[in-house]
Amino acid sequence: MDTMSWRPPYYSSKFRHVFGKPASKENCYDGIPITRSVQDNYFCSVNPKFIAVVTECAGGGAFYVIPISQTGKIDPHQPKVCGHRGNVLDIKWNPFDDYVIASSSEDSTVKIWEIPKHGITKSITTSKQDLLSHSRRVGIIEWHPTARDILFSAGYDYRIMIWNLSSGEPLIKNPVRILDCHKDAILSMSFNTNGSHLVTSCRDKKIRVIDSRTGKILQESSCISHRAIKVLYLSNLKMILSAGYSKWNNRQIVLWDQDDISVPLREEDMDGSLGVLFPFYDPDTHMLYVAGKGEGNIRYYEISSEKPYLHFLMDFRSMLPQKGMGIMPKRGLDVTACEVFRFYKLVTIKSLIEPVSMIVPRRSDSYQDDIYPLTAGAQPAMTAQEWLNGFDKDPILISLKPGSNNQQYLIKDSEFCKLPDFIRKEQVRVNAIQQKPEQRNIEKVQDQKKNFISNGYDLSECPPPKTENELLQMFYRQQEEIRKLRELLAQKEVRVKQLELEIKNVRFSSIGY
């Protein structure tokens, strides 16, 4: 092979040309004094209603809560949430309630705040709940991804506390569980999809996968060539990602098999800069975004389940360095503009918050189903007590299609007729659950008369999906399998044509043509 003609393999992807679009000046948040804390946290949390940003205040810690639509110059006397006696280190919105936010602080406390629906008109100093069991500063808080009112907090006392906020107590001194399996400060933590497992990075350079309910260590990695600062679960790809430094102090991202973290799947050295890497993963598009603290660029990749796993796409370049970042949940994106991700960059040097939209370039103005699959919504899959009792459930998914009102996706009549026969029968049974009692009794009698489907299987032996959402996922999985089979068939047809041409060439050459 001619080495001069070699080119690196081209990676084909619908997200190959995603580009970052910074907001115009009038759509930024200007005049916000951002915290000077040196903690390697994001200092920003966003939902479709509000943006929360950590700031400074005399005598303690505080953060702003600003309506998402209130862009432009911020009033210097903008009211704050300021009940902590020490600097605020982390803030997180409740994923199932856009008006509840948690904050952690150097004063060893975690506080739960309720934000008025019309926004803050005067500074808030009294929290809804105080969580007081940590003995040292609390650096990280995370909400459980599927259970209502379950909050995890990690402190510099090397402990992770689990709190049940639905107990109704005004003051909580004793958490429902304590995970005491770390020997040094916890740097970051991330849940898998249903919240049954938790992956953590620690100052002792170890990555641990633990049972989030009991704290039992399921796996532990002590790879001496990689020092992890941030970790993320990539559950839909059965992987874990860590971002940190190599043994040569180069910034590095590493992919691990979630079932075996003894040896990395892929190590990717980035550069020799010192700023901590902030990784963000979008499970809907399989895209990984990596931003560096103290710089303005955002690199983005697509991750696959096959080698080489990590595919570099492009980077967004900016002269405005970020100290921290927030991201908008998928239900808050502008799907009409093909926006698949949105960052909120905290720019300290200009006291500015700059939104940056990641957009897939498409000519069509219609809704793009292929880049907006069903995604996790704002409805919890179970109560706090159900999770504490040992249940694990996947998130309830929603459609982002305009007009669906971000509710659990229901199958429309136009799509119902396309479903396979056995799924349609199960859909009728699911719909019956939502009918009035007398209607359900009628359906039950009719079901007893027709308890066999066309292929001879008893419906009682084939339990239906628990929700319509699961039913739709089953349908789309079948559609995906059909699509793959069609692609395989097309490849086979091309191969058959190639072989036919080769046979013709052999015949012609044998008779002297």
Q: What 3-state DSSP class applies to 418?
A: coil
Token pair recorded at residue 344: 């909120």
Token pair recorded at residue 398: 């929603």
Measured between alpha carbons, how far is 1 from 304 in angstroms, rounded to an integer?
29
The string of DSSP codes covering 101-162 is: EEEEETTS-EEEEE--TT--SS-B---SEEE---SS-EEEEEE-SSBTTEEEEEETTS-EEE
Strands (E), 177-250: 177-179, 186-191, 197-202, 207-211, 217-221, 226-234, 239-246
Any idea what the Cα angle at residue 416 is, between residues 413 and 417, rounded to 5°? Answer: 100
**Which residues 6+ apart lie within 8 Å of 215 measured at CB?**
160, 177, 178, 179, 180, 181
Backbone torsion region of residue 80, taken as left when φ is above 0, otherwise alpha when ψ lies between -120 and 50, otherwise beta: beta
pLDDT mean for each 10 residues of the chain (513 residues):
48 87 95 90 96 87 95 92 93 97 96 94 93 94 97 96 82 86 95 96 95 95 88 95 94 95 93 92 96 95 93 94 96 94 95 96 86 94 95 94 61 43 49 45 44 39 51 70 79 79 71 56
Q: Tell me which H or E stretch contains 82.
A: strand 81-84
Rounded-to-10 torsion of CA 195, 199, 202, 204: 140
Q: What is the pLDDT of residue 447?
A: 46
The DSSP bridge pattern shows strands 72-73 and 29-30 to be parallel
Asked if 223 and 215 count as a contact pair (C-beta separation under 8 A), the reply is no
Provide Rg for the chain, Cα atoms: 26
pLDDT digits (tens, 9 = 90+) for 469-492: 566 667 767 777 787 788 788 778
Distance (Å) of CA 46 to CA 129, 241, 292, 367? 21, 23, 19, 24
Among 288, 299, 275, residue whose Cα is nearest residue 239: 288
Q: What 3-state DSSP class applies to 304?
A: coil
Measured between alpha carbons, how far is 261 from 59 in angstroms, rounded to an integer?
44
Q: In CATH, which superfamily holds the domain spanning 187-312?
A: YVTN repeat-like/Quinoprotein amine dehydrogenase (2.130.10.10)
Asked if 285 and 371 count as a contact pair (C-beta separation under 8 A), the reply is yes
Q: What is the pLDDT of residue 488?
A: 81
Sorted by where each begins, the domain ranges of the chain are: 187-312, 410-500
Measured between alpha carbons, how far is 212 from 369 in angstroms, rounded to an integer?
34
Measured between alpha carbons, how far is 267 from 120 in angstroms, rounded to an integer?
45
DSSP letter (8 states) at residue 460:
G
Measured between alpha carbons, how far is 47 from 283 in angstroms, rounded to an integer?
18
Tell me the β-bridge partners of 375.
Answer: 398
